[in-house]
Amino acid sequence: MFGYEVYADDSSICQAAIHMGLLTDLGGEVTYAIGGAAPTFEARVKNGITSTKKQSRNRTFKIIGDKKHTCSYFHETY
């Protein structure tokens, strides 16, 4: 998995949601938004998952929501 808050498009959505603290390894539903290019992705250790630094990608995504309100699984462009 690459990045934090904004993730590279080849990252796992489930791992990103756990990394953000919105899911556990038991699963659940999250909302994500697909975005455009990003020049770099920073590495972070959060919620037991270590993301990796990576150079630019043409597509990105971010998880939308917070610990109190997770929404049904769908995607939108941001």
- At residue 66, the pLDDT reads 61
- At residue 77, the pLDDT reads 52
- At residue 68, the pLDDT reads 45
- At residue 64, the pLDDT reads 87
Sequence-distant (6+) residues with CB within 8 A of 69 are none
- Can you say how many angstroms the Cα of residue 47 is from the centroid of all Cα atoms in its chain? 13
Query: Can you list the residues of the chain whose pLDDT is less than 70?
Result: 66-78
What φ, ψ does residue 31 adopt, rounded to 5°?
-110, 140
Give residue limits of the domains in the chain: 3-77
Sequence-distant (6+) residues with CB within 8 A of 63 are 7, 13, 16, 17, 20, 22, 30, 31, 32
